[in-house]
Amino acid sequence: MNTKEVCKKLCMTEKALRVYEACSIITPEREANGYRNYSEEDLLKLREILLLKEIGFSLKEIKLLTDRNIYANNRFTRSLYLQYKAIDCKIAELDNIRSTLKESVDRMLESDKELNQTRFLDNISETLKANKAVRRQWIDKWGFDNKAMKYDKMVNDRANDELGLFEKYDEILEEIRCMIIEHKAQEVLDIGCGTGNLCGSLGSKIKVVGMDQSLEMLLQAKRKYENMKLKLGNFLDKPFDTNRFDVVVSTFAFHTLNNEEKKIALYHMLEFINEKGKIIIGDFMFTNDSERESCREKLCAQHQFDLWEVIEKRHYTNLENFSEYVKSLGLRVTCRHIVNFTWLMVIEKY
């Protein structure tokens, strides 16, 4: 496609095209006569550029992102995902600015005397500065989501699992699959499905929907299990359906949520299940704060500070506290210790 056709199709100017080319963001092939010939790949990249520019990314930032978003397969899906995550980033920035402005307005209204305006302006400047730092960090990390490639190997690599986090991994998944079958479930939602190891094999017998916030995990799951339906999302997203699933299950993912987020996640999972449905969570937990502290003391006494850091980076559920919260909602909860830090929790409606 020549320059004029591209400009017409994408509603952009030739000058803009030249700027992107000068910045090496896009490099179209040249015909023998020297004229530019834009491929479908170039058009896809230009659409990325236009959206990223529209929501406020600089050309330098755009080049960094688009350079790292080159893959041999699933190119279109990954292009859409990049744009989706960029908008997520921008929304977070705008939310920060809005919160700062609202807080400033409220303080001005609450005060019975004139306040120093410079302080409020400085607060806004600090928020903008913080937003830029977070954006830089997000851009720097883009394209390095390679955990999906390593995940299946990681959960079976006993030599490097010093905490025994994935001990009996296969047995745990098999036990949960048996629980799903015994419940006579016809529709199952797996939140934080990863590469589909838990429910993927059930997809040929029942309806299975896997949801994960990592596109790379979902692409691996799609490659492995063609009967599994997949969605991009996480525990905190508004439910895409209600009163539908017989079982909502999650394994080795709940610990990514803090205490308040766990409550929100539970509320969403309850919306997903039908009246006879159940929630099954297999994850890392401590019985209570006392057990957590004993674990910390033991590891630190053995100078295994790096192992405690692994635990501390996540939010292992306080089983007693969370169980009490579940019961306060009028729900039935049963818990069973499996091995090391891993517990199975089943939540049902009365």
Tokens of 109: 């209204």
Closest among 1, 68, 78 to 40, alpha carbons compared: 1
Q: How confident is the model at residue 145 (pLDDT cuts 50, 70, 90)?
A: low
Percent of the chain having pLDDT more than 70? 97
Token pair listed for 333: 């909860």
342-349 vs 331-339, strand pairing mode: antiparallel
Mean pLDDT of all residues in 212-222: 92
Alpha carbons 50 and 58: distance in angstroms, whole number: 11
Provide mean pLDDT across the span 5-25.
Answer: 95
Beta carbons of 232 and 85 less than 8 angstroms apart? no
Please state whether beta strands 245-251 and 187-191 pair in parallel, antiparallel, or not at all (unpaired).
parallel
Place of tokens 């699992």: 161
- Measured CA to CA in angstroms, residue 202 lies from 174, 177, 199, 227, 232 at distances of 11, 8, 5, 9, 20
Phi, psi of 339 (to 5 degrees): -165, 140
Q: Whole-prediction pTM value?
A: 0.81
Q: Quick one: pLDDT band at residue 205, thresholds 50, 70, 90?
A: very high
Name every residue whose Cβ is closer than 8 Å to that of residue 312 and which is 6 or more positions away in sequence: none
pLDDT at 157: 77
Task: Report pLDDT digits (tens) over 250-308.
Answer: 999 999 999 999 999 999 999 999 999 999 999 999 999 999 999 999 999 999 999 99
Tens digit of each residue's pLDDT (9 = 90 or more) over 98-124 = 999 999 999 888 887 777 888 889 999
| pLDDT of amino acid 147 | 67
Is residue 49 scored above 80 in pLDDT?
A: yes
